[in-house]
Structure 1
């Protein structure tokens, strides 16, 4: 699972594909969820980032 961190919230996706101007997010059934432009994407985190106690620098 991944979390796309946006200025106004976050989007959970099971998979993503990099595009020229952003990422395509997909659910576990490989259904398209959303296109997120790089300008709106603050971070893309793997689920493991939330399992650590201390934050790490990426």
Structure 2
């Protein structure tokens, strides 16, 4: 599970794909949840980042 951190909130997704202009976020059924342009993406974190004191930034 991943969390995309955006300027106005965050989105949870099961997996993602990097593209030229941004990332596509997908749920567990491989349905597209959102396209996030890189300029709007502050961070993409694994769920493990919330379990430790030091986040693992992707």
Q: Tell me how large the CA RMSD over aligned residues is.
A: 1.3
Which stretches of structure 1, 4 residues or more, deviate above 3 A after TM superposition?
none
TM-score by length of 1: 0.91
TM-score, length of structure 2 as denominator length: 0.91
Which has the larger Rg?
1
- Aligned pairs, number: 57
Structure 2 gap segments, 5+ residues each? none
- CA deviations over 1:1-50 (Å, ceiling 9, x no partner): 00000000000000100000100000011100000000000000011000
